[in-house]
Amino acid sequence: MIGRRSTSPSPLSFTFEYVCKGSRSKASSSERDRVKMNTEEPELTRDTVMKLIQASQEVKKHAYCRYSDFRVGAALLTSDDLVFTAQAKRPASPVPTIQIHADNHARPSAGCNVENACNNLGICAERTAIVKAVSDGHRRFKAIAVASDMKDQFISPCGGCRQFMREFGLNWDVYMSKPDGSFMKMSVSQLLPSSFGAKDLTMKRETDHGDH
Amino acid sequence: MIGRRSTSPSPLSFTFEYVCKGSRSKASSSERDRVKMNTEEPELTRDTVMKLIQASQEVKKHAYCRYSDFRVGAALLTSDDLVFTAQAKRPASPVPTIQIHADNHARPSAGCNVENACNNLGICAERTAIVKAVSDGHRRFKAIAVASDMKDQFISPCGGCRQFMREFGLNWDVYMSKPDGSFMKMSVSQLLPSSFGAKDLTMKRETDHGDH
Amino acid sequence: MIGRRSTSPSPLSFTFEYVCKGSRSKASSSERDRVKMNTEEPELTRDTVMKLIQASQEVKKHAYCRYSDFRVGAALLTSDDLVFTAQAKRPASPVPTIQIHADNHARPSAGCNVENACNNLGICAERTAIVKAVSDGHRRFKAIAVASDMKDQFISPCGGCRQFMREFGLNWDVYMSKPDGSFMKMSVSQLLPSSFGAKDLTMKRETDHGDH
Amino acid sequence: MIGRRSTSPSPLSFTFEYVCKGSRSKASSSERDRVKMNTEEPELTRDTVMKLIQASQEVKKHAYCRYSDFRVGAALLTSDDLVFTAQAKRPASPVPTIQIHADNHARPSAGCNVENACNNLGICAERTAIVKAVSDGHRRFKAIAVASDMKDQFISPCGGCRQFMREFGLNWDVYMSKPDGSFMKMSVSQLLPSSFGAKDLTMKRETDHGDH
């Protein structure tokens, strides 16, 4: 069977499956506790949000953060309707299954922070997750969850990550979580108001300057 | 006379002076059109704002932006009450004067963008202005003005610069300008809501992780 | 069969397999044209190098480089002995096969550059490949191949990427390639002589300073 | 007198002066212990090197490095023949003097590292020094000195800084120092062999790609 996950211990404890556009409404009908998305986007189910946060917590274990000792993980939901399904909900399936898209990108794009002795060359978890997804051919995102070890504080993306997210749209959501799974949701546009973007680079300019 | 500017052509066309704390209220009394600052900070005069924007426009001429051809300039107002005074207002002084603080930092900290063939190693104008000031011993800022060549758009700092500003406080102001001198003002906290900062790094954590 | 690749069109045209430590010598015995590795590391076969370069060329197609229009791809060989096997060499296998490690990380870590409207927030292909691997639990690397569209020039990593590579060791190799598959090999230590690293941060210091 | 420094305590303990092109040979004739420069560049005197290192040590005091506690300073020598003159050598001048160039840039461009809570948004001392100089209209450099607190190790620029230096030429020198003033000299081209630069971005390419 294509893409079946082995039953051996895996660093990512959740299972997940792609659900194609057509089957999506059916999958949705059995779900509650929806989390509102921006604009016209359909809402994410609370279950999906939980799986996304869980994925961000799992990948956090791989954080390379020997200088700050501050672990961060991030998990990205692409707009191909990648949906995470909890193992506990699928008793009929003895081995959790991955149904793979035609384009064969089965894994959620989850990333951790990777630091450097020259600290400004490190890369945040959120950007790691996004460059993974882009390298796999994705450029449209629905949501990203972020996890850290801070018990009493929702982990918030830095300004650099907000700008990096904004490159791929303003109307998608950031789930800032605590280790207990609670979260605060803000859209990219809320996190980066009056933002600078690609369009600005092509606007009409004062062109009287000489050298550059 | 200490710090008198030469009359030779200079890349910065404005003049400026430090006004010590004691003399500040007097200087203020003659000024109108105040621009409101955040919280309890005293307001900046419109004249000061204009000088700051002008400084950001002047330094923009030095932008090294051969890859994007997008020039940006930024001028920073430190909290030592550096005040810019327009040359036109001082007819009695044939040579514009700089009155220098005891700590001898006479120049406003103005910076431009400096790009790199490896584009992600470039540095924005706003960050340039701030590292100049920090290298000169300043860590408390009141305002920063940003200028670009976009005729119809206020130039807005990128997320990375917002985070860089936030390192030095949430309650200071960013004047995003157009070439005609018009501007939009937002505080750092408005530009970077729910931000991540130094305090987060020291918060109580889940400490059950092993390697990093 | 676990991990079999679908026969549907895939963005990565090569096939690959993990070979566990035990079976490695056998796989090696049939290979020629070895490329010398640094120090005591076993050599890579020319075939492996070619597959690595091919992977870097394939992932280049996903480059998000709307500002520079300069596409770069990079493919990383981890030290778990991930070995690429050419499809043409395996006629007995009608469908190319992936044999997956127990830890289920089947894909080579290949990354492209991802740019940003704020150009200094972009991420190079080499760093993308490395953060992908680290997020998947890998921290020991044997080689990285880099590809661009420059016909007459081997694509060379920027200084930031060299430092990022160096974080994970000095004695591994960088294959700088041209579109025709020719390459130039240099080790990380050759690319970044007299480099700064983690050890420097812990060296004995002059400690008479006060504030920071 | 133009540009005279005040006698109040100053963070930079050295004095310096610009010597115009015409007077340079005279100034040189009295100097010994030359340090060889690359290619056809005239050599720096040991005295100049010492002043440059001293400037890098002085500015290090302003380092904002609360996360790493690793202070770095850098001082840049522009190609306008900015020459530092030790105060001790000028007993006839009760108040140290700055003779200012026509373009009015009197201060050596010295910078420190400025860190950020999001560590990858920090800026190294070397880059700080360079963006200061560029903002002041300089783009041609002769040498940069770097200082840290490591007693037993010459402080070496990170790969990102090497690339940043390389943007402004390969044939200028980096003086990596220890707190005792001893140094190791390497050129930018030695520190970044086979480097990537602006020219690469304009080379002939394979142009068969579609999207980016």
B170 has a chain D CB within 8 A of its CB: no
Q: Is the Cβ of B121 closer than 8 Å to some Cβ of chain A? A: no
Q: What is the Cα–Cα distance from A22 to D145, expressed in whole angstroms?
A: 64
How far is it, in rounded angstroms, from Cα D83 to Cα D199? 32
- Give A132-159 pLDDT, tens digit per residue: 999 989 999 999 999 999 999 999 999 9
**Interface contact flag, A196 C121, Cβ < 8 Å:** no
CB nearest C163 (choices: A107, A118, A196): A118
C114 touches chain D (CB under 8 A): no
Element of type H or E holding A134 = helix A125-135
pLDDT digit string (tens) for A159-204?
A: 999 999 999 999 999 999 999 999 999 999 999 999 999 999 998 8
Can you give the pLDDT at residue C212? 53
Q: Are C140 and C147 in contact (CB under 8 A)?
A: no
Residue type present at position D27:
A
Please give the pLDDT value at position C185. Answer: 98
CA distance D196 to A205: 31
CB contact (8 A) between residue D111 and residue B130: no
Q: Tell me which H or E stretch contains A185.
A: strand A183-187
* Contact status, residue C173 vs residue C186, Cβ threshold 8 Å: yes
Residue D210 or B139, more confident: B139
Q: What is the 3-state secondary structure (H, E, C) of chain C?
A: CCCCCCCCCCCCCCEEEECCHHHHHHHHHCCCCEECCCCCCCCEEHHHHHHHHHHHHHHHHHCECCCCCCCEEEEEEECCCEEEECHHHCCCCCCCCCCCCCCCCCCCEEEECECCCCHHHCECHHHHHHHHHHHCCCCCEEEEEEEECECCCCCCCCHHHHHHHHCCCCCCEEEEECCCCCEEEEEHHHHCCCCCCHHHHHCCECCCCCCC
Contacts (Cβ under 8 Å, ≥6 apart) of C183:
C49, C53, C145, C154, C175, C176, C177
Across all residues in chain B, what is the average pLDDT?
74
Those chains having 3 or more beta-carbon pairs within 8 angstroms of chain B are A, C, D
Rounded-to-integer distance, Cα A118 and Cα C170, Å? 15
Q: What are B158-183's pLDDT values in tens digits?
A: 999 999 999 999 999 999 999 999 99
* Closest to B158 in 3D by CA, of C55, A161, A124, A116: A161
Q: Token match 């007693």: residue?
A: D151
Nearest chain A residue to B195, by CA: A156
Which pLDDT score, from 0 to 100, does residue D73 have? 97
What are the pLDDT digits (tens) for A62-116?
A: 999 999 999 999 999 988 754 333 222 222 333 222 322 323 333 568 999 999 9
pLDDT tens, per residue, chain C with 212 residues: 233 333 333 333 233 333 223 333 333 333 333 444 344 455 789 998 999 999 999 999 999 999 999 999 999 998 875 533 322 222 233 323 232 232 333 346 899 999 999 999 999 999 999 999 999 899 999 999 999 999 999 999 999 999 999 999 999 999 999 999 999 999 999 999 999 999 999 988 876 555 45
- Nearest by CB to A194, from B65, B186, B209: name it: B186
One-letter amino acid of D19: V
Confidence of residue B33 (pLDDT cuts 50, 70, 90): very low
Separation of alpha carbons D145 and D54, rounded Å: 9
β-pairing, B183-187 with B173-177? antiparallel
Supply the ipTM of this predicted assembly: 0.73
Pairing assessment for the beta strands C72-78 and D173-177 based on DSSP bridges: unpaired
Q: Is the pTM of this model over 0.80?
A: no
Using a CB-CB cut-off of 8 Å, the residues of chain A touching B153 are 200, 203
Asked which of A88-92, A206-210, D176-180 is least confident by mean pLDDT, the reply is A88-92
Interchain proximity C120–B121, CB inside 8 Å: yes
Instruction: State chain A's maximal CA–CA distance in angstroms.
Output: 71
Q: A139 — contact with chain C (CB < 8 Å)?
A: yes
Q: What is the pLDDT of residue B81?
A: 52
Of B65, B56, B62, B141, residue with least CA distance to D133: B62
* C137 to chain B: closest CA residue: B212
pLDDT at C17: 30
C-alpha neighbours within 13 Å on the C-beta side of residue D204:
2
Residues of C in contact with D148 (CB under 8 A): 205
CB C143 within 8 A of CB C173: yes
Q: In chain D, which residues have their Cβ closer than 8 Å to the Cβ of A117?
A: 158
Q: What is the mean pLDDT of residues B28-56?
A: 65
3-state SS assignment for residue D93: coil
With residue B38 as reference, give the H or E element that holds it.
Answer: none
- Mutation target among D95, D131, D200 for the B interface, most CBs of B within 10 A: D131
> For residue B126, which of B151, B159, B104 has the smallest C-alpha distance?
B159
* Whole-angstrom distance, CA of residue A156 vs CA of residue A174: 9
Is the pLDDT reported for residue B11 higher than 80?
no
Q: CB neighbours of B199 closer than 8 A, spacing ≥ 6?
A: none
Q: Range with the lowest mean pLDDT among B45-59, D10-24, D49-63?
A: D10-24
| Residue D164 in this model has a pLDDT that exceeds 90 | yes
Query: What is the C-alpha separation between D99 and D3, in angstroms, rounded?
Result: 7
The confidence score (pLDDT) of residue C41 equals 53
Name residue, tokens 């018990």: A151
Q: Do B159 and C118 touch (CB under 8 A)?
A: yes
Q: pLDDT class for B9, splitting at 50, 70, 90?
A: very low
C34/C37 Cα distance (integer angstroms): 9
Strand residue runs (E) in B114-197: 141-148, 173-177, 183-187
Structural contact between residues D159 and B118, judged by C-beta atoms closer than 8 angstroms: no
Q: Is A181 an 8 Å CB contact of chain B?
A: no
Mean pLDDT over residues B31-48, rounded?
A: 58
Residue D151: its chain C contacts at CB < 8 A? 203-206
- Residue C167 falls in the annotated catalytic set: no
Out of C17, C58, C115, C126, pick the active-site residue.
C126
